[in-house]
Structure 1
Amino acid sequence: MPSFFEEVDGVRIHYEKVGTGSQVLLLIPGAIGCTRSDFPDQLDGGLDQSLFTIIAIDLPGYGKSRPPERQYSVEAYPNDARKAAGLMDKLGYKLYSVLGWSDGAKIALLLAIRHQARVDKLIVWGVVPYASEYDIKAVSMTRDISVFDPKSRKLYIEAYGQELFEQLWHKHVDYCVGFSGNATAIWDIRKEMRSIKCPTLILHGDKDPLIDKNHPYTAEKEIADSRLVRFANGSHNIHQVYVQEFNKTVTDFLLE
């Protein structure tokens, strides 16, 4: 895949770019994810490259945007959003739609909140608008990577190798659990979400064990121009398991 680097605010950011379509898409991976671990089913022809120009980013500290190592702090997600917006500015894209999965959904929401003039449409799944006790408990139970969906685990190991995958994931879990006492103050963006103006598609797997079941409904409630599409048997990684249905749903929404 065409692989490139840009320096954004002093950080070397890796991204992939495919397609020649008139609509520009920014794909944002989940926690510790990268272009290859999270989006091969979208980048490698799953989304029509004659319709879309697709940029997929490795966030700072993940994928090929390392070193340096990930800097975990209360500003981690806002910093990710700034880097993503900065990359698109560097590439000359002034208007684009954003697709974000899991942690990437949080960052996509922040982009739509804080860079409203840039975001045409928003698509999020595995979204966590605030951290509940359920969320903290669920992520803590994933320290043992054997509980991961087999396809997701395989893709992470292919991207990082077994040892580095486990190291990066354990650091992420420690970050989430370490902030659990004031997670609401750090990660609660429900009020900010009310300012999102762009059309928004919220996707949700009804059997997702990793996020509080209320989250997709909260997102739909707080974002005025939004709709919720549910995958009855879907888990956290609906884009990797229900590939054709996911890609068609996304494409139909983007072409409306």
Structure 2
Amino acid sequence: MAWHGPDGRQIYYEDTGRGETVVLMPGWGGSITDLDRLRREFASGFRVIAVDLPGSGRSQPQPRHYTASYYLDDARALLGVLDALEVEAAHFVGFSDGGENALLMAALEPGRALSAVTWGAAGQVVTSPGMLGRLAHLVDEPIEPLKALAAYLVEAYGVHNARIMAASWAGALGGIVDAGGDVSRSRAALITCPTLMITGTYDPFCPPDMVRDMADAIPRGEYREAFEAGHDVHLSHHGWLLATILDWLGDH
């Protein structure tokens, strides 16, 4: 199914299960199929609306040309999907960019957020010009930690589109960094729902200290570390992550 926005873009989503609503969001460039194992478990006790982020998965148009405002634009668009589905309240659950969107959505519409759960998100972008350069040339010159992502993008979108996506994304992140790096960090006090922020011990993009700082700034925020994990906690620590999130949702 697809939501058609006023600007002509289409956001793909799948709606399964019954109960309180969980909005499940994958990372940048990813697809809801990446989180199928989690989605199946969630759907046994919740209504799960799994959403491909704008420009990723089966959402259109592609290739997407990113701007420095893309996080805020996407959060508003995703809230538009919930408006169309008449979802008044939901748990926002997301990985990486999906997690950044979860935090922003909770800040923009606190009354709609029952809780928020993220892994691989920090509320801000902190990176070096060198890393931004590597992201811009991700497809043709991937460094070791990014080889899996580069291969994924090429397989999912083709070489041409993947190059455009990566270069545009790196430019947008550079604009965010130049403006101070804020995504939702400045809005942390507005996130009034219970919020669980998870990151891996060795996450190169969202290190523990940065994620813990954001969780501490959220009035009802909590922090958990996936020990010995990197960025893709759902791959390396699937069982632990599933149990942690289900326990959290059950308590909230």
Q: Same fold (TM over 0.5)?
A: yes
Specify whether residues 55 and 140 from structure 1 end up closer, same or farther in structure 2 by C-alpha distance, changes over 3 A only.
Answer: farther
5 Å matches for 1:171-250?
171-184=168-181, 187-250=182-245
User: In structure 1, how many angstroms separate the alpha carbons of the residues matched to 2:44 and 2:30?
Assistant: 26
Q: How much does 1:152 deviate?
A: 5.1
Query: Which runs of no fewer than 5 residues in structure 2 stay unpaired?
Result: none
CA contact (8 A) 2:96 2:120 kept: yes
User: In structure 2, how many angstroms separate the alpha carbons of the residues matched to 1:173 and 1:93?
Assistant: 33
Corresponding residue number in structure 1 for 2:156: 159
Give 3-state SS (helix, strand or coil) of 1:62's partner. Answer: coil
Specify whether residues 25 and 12 from structure 1 end up closer, same or farther in structure 2 by C-alpha distance, changes over 3 A only.
Answer: same
Identity of aligned residues (%): 23
5 Å matches for 1:2-151?
4-36=1-33, 38-43=34-39, 45=40, 47-67=41-61, 69-132=63-126, 134=127, 137-142=130-135, 143=138, 144-145=141-142, 147-148=144-145
In the superposition, the TM-score normalised over structure 2's length comes to 0.86
User: In structure 1, how many angstroms separate the alpha carbons of the residues matched to 2:150 and 2:234?
Assistant: 14
CA contact (8 A) 1:41 1:240 kept: no
Corresponding residue number in structure 2 for 1:253: 248
* Bigger mean CA deviation after superposition, 201-210 or 59-68: 59-68
Q: Map Cα deviations across residues 92-124 of structure 1 (whole Å, 9 max, x no partner).
A: 211111112222222111101111111111001
Specify whether residues 10 and 188 from structure 1 end up closer, same or farther in structure 2 by C-alpha distance, changes over 3 A only.
Answer: closer
User: In structure 1, how many angstroms separate the alpha carbons of the residues matched to 2:207 and 2:201?
Assistant: 11
CA contact (8 A) 2:24 2:92 kept: yes
Give 3-state SS (helix, strand or coil) of 1:127's partner. Answer: coil
User: In structure 1, how many angstroms separate the alpha carbons of the residues matched to 2:155 and 2:46?
Assistant: 27
Q: Map Cα deviations across residues 117-167 of structure 1 (whole Å, 9 max, x no partner).
A: 1111100111132233x4655454442435346765565444324543343
Specify whether residues 91 and 18 from structure 1 end up closer, same or farther in structure 2 by C-alpha distance, changes over 3 A only.
Answer: closer
Specify whether residues 253 and 66 from structure 1 end up closer, same or farther in structure 2 by C-alpha distance, changes over 3 A only.
Answer: same
* Bigger mean CA deviation after superposition, 135-144 or 81-90: 135-144
Query: Which runs of no fewer than 5 residues in structure 1 stay unpaired?
Result: none
CA contact (8 A) 1:207 1:234 kept: yes
Tell me how many residue pairs correspond in the alignment. 247
Specify whether residues 232 and 196 from structure 1 end up closer, same or farther in structure 2 by C-alpha distance, changes over 3 A only.
Answer: same
